[in-house]
Amino acid sequence: DETTPTPKSDAHLYGHVIDSKTGEHLPYATVTIPGTTIGTMTDASGHYFLKNLPTGTITVEARMMSYDPVRHEVTLKKGQSLELNFEITENGITMDDVVVSASRSETTRRKAPALVNVLDRKIFDNTNSACLAQGLSFQPGVRVEDDCQNCGFMQVRINGLDGHYSQILVDSHPVFSALSGVYGLEQIPASMIDRVEVMRGGGSALFGSSAIGGTINIITKDPDRNSAEVGHTITAIGNSSSYDNVTSANASLITDSRKAGLYVYGQNRHRSGYDHDGDGFTEIPQLQSQALGLRSFFKTSAYSRSRSNIIPSWSTVGAATGS
């Protein structure tokens, strides 16, 4: 019976595993034949190869953490090589994250003495956030507020404390001063952010004297594949003719050996002033900002890597107008 698996022969399977939503190749996904010890993992480009498989009809399964497994049946003949591709869907269920807490020891999020809440790319994409300030508004215990409609003074409150009691880090480095922390929240484009780690509560001994209310650690994107993206969004502000226009572009390059990579991003934003009560003074000031930056890395060995990160930005905030 040709449908009954027979002993090994010169039959091979090859193909790739991709995300059904984005179409991206998924590296290090497992491809196995259930009920046997036969299996492999996709390489860094998301491709796999299974050789010397049993002939007949077999079931092949592809799975990856946080994705729903997918099974396909295929019939193999002796000396035959077939291409079998998988599209798997992210299930949205996450397990306990592994974080590094004040003790610098590995522990689960549930047992950590200081919890770290993570804002990932999904939050920024689903909320159409153009900058760091807009994404932080969806984090519990964190409040982003505009305190001056003339100069664009904006601060982030953690546990109710003023903005200068919050330490803002970029890739775990305190590159933001207390002044930059209140004027620079809208100068960090969402296109450069991979995730944001928010730790509420004091951490001055670890993160600096400003980490009294809490710490916000911005992890920037690393180049992981050759890609390019251009986008433009228009957001209406209230029931008026005021709009927030954001044009963004980014590109990443990485060598075949994955030892070096470069990620370049840029953003141009124009936000019209918004006068809610019609008194001639804008509640939300006009904003014109540009950002252009890059992030690169070079692996000097298997256990060390050199990084560089450049984040220049500039903006003009329109003053309120009165009659």
Query: DSSP letters along 235-287, please?
Result: EE-TTSS-EEEEEEEEEEEE-TTSSEEEEEEEEEEEE--B-SSSSSS-SB--E
Most confident of 24-38, 107-121, 294-308: 24-38
Give the three-class secondary structure for 313: strand
Name the pLDDT band for 112 (thresholds 50, 70, 90).
Answer: low
Nearest by Cα to 209 from 258, 153, 166, 163: 166
Check if the beta carbon of residue 223 is closer than 8 Å to that of residue 262. Answer: yes
Looking at the fold, whether 102 and 170 belong to one and the same domain comes out as yes
Query: DSSP letters along 96-108, please?
Result: PPEEE-TT--EEE
- Residue with the bigger pLDDT between 99 and 241: it is 241
Looking at the fold, whether 307 and 236 belong to one and the same domain comes out as yes
Looking at the fold, whether 214 and 150 belong to one and the same domain comes out as yes
Nearest 5 degrees, angle CA 133-CA 181-CA 310? Answer: 85
Looking at the fold, whether 183 and 237 belong to one and the same domain comes out as no
Looking at the fold, whether 29 and 50 belong to one and the same domain comes out as yes
Looking at the fold, whether 105 and 19 belong to one and the same domain comes out as no
- The answer to whether residue 4 sits within a structural domain is no
Query: DSSP letters along 153-181, please?
Result: -EEEEETTB-GGGEEEEETTB----HHHH
Looking at the fold, whether 45 and 111 belong to one and the same domain comes out as no
pLDDT at residue 162, rounded to an integer: 80
- The answer to whether residue 6 sits within a structural domain is no
pLDDT at residue 93, rounded to an integer: 61
Beta-bridge partners for 13? 50, 82
Looking at the predicted structure, is the pLDDT value of residue 322 above 50?
no
- The answer to whether residue 205 sits within a structural domain is yes
- The answer to whether residue 266 sits within a structural domain is yes
| Domain finish residue from 220, 255, 280 | 220
- The answer to whether residue 93 sits within a structural domain is no
Looking at the fold, whether 77 and 168 belong to one and the same domain comes out as no
pLDDT at residue 4, rounded to an integer: 52
pLDDT at residue 106, rounded to an integer: 66
- The answer to whether residue 267 sits within a structural domain is yes
CATH number, position 19: 2.60.40.1120
Looking at the predicted structure, is the pLDDT value of residue 105 above 80?
no
Most confident of 30-39, 156-165, 269-278: 30-39
pLDDT at residue 213, rounded to an integer: 80
- Give Dmax (Cα) for the chain: 90
Q: Count how many domains the chain has.
A: 3
User: Which domain range does residue 202 map to?
Assistant: 98-220
The mean pLDDT value of the chain amounts to: 81
Mean pLDDT value of segment 12-19 = 94
For 10, 26, 119, 232, the CA distances from 226, given in Å and listed in that order, are 35, 14, 24, 21
Which run of H or E residues covers position 122? helix 121-126
CATH number, position 160: 2.170.130.10
pLDDT at residue 99, rounded to an integer: 54
pLDDT at residue 47, rounded to an integer: 94
pLDDT at residue 2, rounded to an integer: 46
Looking at the predicted structure, is the pLDDT value of residue 101 above 60?
no
Whether the full predicted model's pTM is greater than 0.85, yes or no, is no
- Residue with the bigger pLDDT between 43 and 303: it is 43
| Domain finish residue from 88, 112, 135 | 88
Check if the beta carbon of residue 238 is closer than 8 Å to that of residue 276. Answer: yes
Q: What strand order describes the sheet that includes 30-32? A: 39-41, 30-32, 56-63, 70-76
Looking at the predicted structure, is the pLDDT value of residue 100 above 70?
no
| Domain finish residue from 220, 241, 268 | 220
Nearest by Cα to 63 from 17, 122, 128: 17
Nearest by Cα to 297 from 222, 227, 226, 228: 222
Looking at the fold, whether 257 and 208 belong to one and the same domain comes out as no
Q: How do residues 200-226 score in pLDDT, each as one tens digit?
A: 877 655 666 677 788 888 888 888 888
- The answer to whether residue 260 sits within a structural domain is yes
Alpha carbon distance 56, 7 (integer Å):
10
Give the three-class secondary structure for 70: strand
Beta strands 86-88; 12-19: pairing state: parallel
User: 73-77, 198-202, 265-269: which range is least confident on average?
Assistant: 198-202
Mean pLDDT value of segment 163-184 = 73
- The answer to whether residue 3 sits within a structural domain is no
